[in-house]
Structures are given as C-alpha cells and as structure tokens.
C-alpha cells in the first residue's frame, strides 16, 4: 500500500467508524508534507450543524492546527467526492489536490443526492427554489467601499 492509499484508508476508516457514532458515512484527512495534519468525520446530526461535513470539519481543524486560512500546501483525502458546499470550502482553503473514494453518484444511491444543488446553481436567481430577495444594497456597499480603500488588510 502506497502513502496515498494509506491516507485514503484513514479517511475511509473514519467514514465507516462514524456510522457507529451516529454520524454520516463520510471521513476526510488533510495531509501536509506527507503527514496527516487533521482528520475528521461528518458530524451533521451529532452537532446539529448542516455544515459539519467531513471535509469542512477537517479544513477547520487543519486551519487551527496550522494557524492559517491558506492550505495551498496541503492535500485532502475524502471518502466521497465532495458536495458543492465542501467543494467550495476546498477551493476557498486553497487546497490543490483532492483524492476521493466514492463518487457523487454512489452517494446519490444511498440518498445523499446533491444534484438538486447543482441544478439550482444553473438557474437564474429568480427561478430558484429558495427565494433570493435583494435588500439594502446601498447600505451593504459601505463595507465593500471600506474594504477596497483599506491598505493594511489581509487578502484571501
């Protein structure tokens, strides 16, 4: 078993063990310089947090451990192809490589189907299932104007 397979096995083992702890069948590990920095499983139901997917939990842990929001020098191994939310988090974190076990079609077969989210993203905002209502844009713009004119900001 090569090093990548060992890291993937860890993510898969987390996904399997998590079921016995009342969580969903998903696990993820983040690796830097050939070492696991953070490992996490899905904790949506245990934490009553719809964002507590394995990948997001692992990113949060790795960021705290490494004391940075930029994980561009890390890789993520996840037991399943990331959902749209996790994919967004991976992009925002800067991670450049994702290794995954199950596919999104495999997840859909056990009723973890995210296709509706992909479909919603393709729709015009006024045709989406969730209502999007613009409100107080001119007031909200004040924060963006301030950000744009701030010289000593930490960009990300």
| Catalytic residue, candidates 55, 81, 120, 139 | 55
User: 3-class DSSP state for residue 36?
Assistant: strand
User: Considering only CA atoms, which of 6, 71, 81, 13 is closest in space to residue 41?
Assistant: 13
Distance CA 133, CA 102 (A): 36
Q: Which residue has the tokens 């904790």?
A: 43
Q: Which residue has the tokens 């996790």?
A: 86
Active site residue 75: no
User: Which residues does 118 contact at the CB level (< 8 Å), separation at least 6?
Assistant: 84
Strands (DSSP E) found in 15-132:
27-32, 35-41, 74-80, 97-102
Q: Which residues are catalytic?
A: 55
């Amino acid at each position: 078993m090569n090093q990548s397979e060992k890291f993937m096995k860890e993510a898969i083992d987390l996904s399997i063990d998590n079921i016995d702890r009342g969580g969903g069948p998903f696990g993820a590990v983040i690796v830097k310089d050939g070492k696991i920095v953070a490992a996490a499983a899905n904790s949506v139901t245990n934490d009553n947090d719809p964002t507590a997917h394995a990948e997001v939990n692992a990113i949060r842990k790795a960021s705290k451990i490494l004391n940075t929001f930029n994980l561009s020098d890390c890789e993520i191994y996840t037991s399943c192809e990331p959902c749209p939310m996790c994919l967004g988090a991976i992009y925002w974190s800067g991670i450049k490589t994702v290794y995954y076990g199950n596919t999104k079609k495999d997840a859909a077969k056990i009723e973890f189907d995210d296709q509706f989210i992909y479909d919603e993203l393709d729709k015009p905002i006024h045709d989406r299932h969730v209502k999007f209502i613009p409100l107080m844009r001119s007031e909200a713009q004040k924060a963006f104007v301030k950000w744009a004119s701030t010289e000593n900001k930490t960009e990300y």
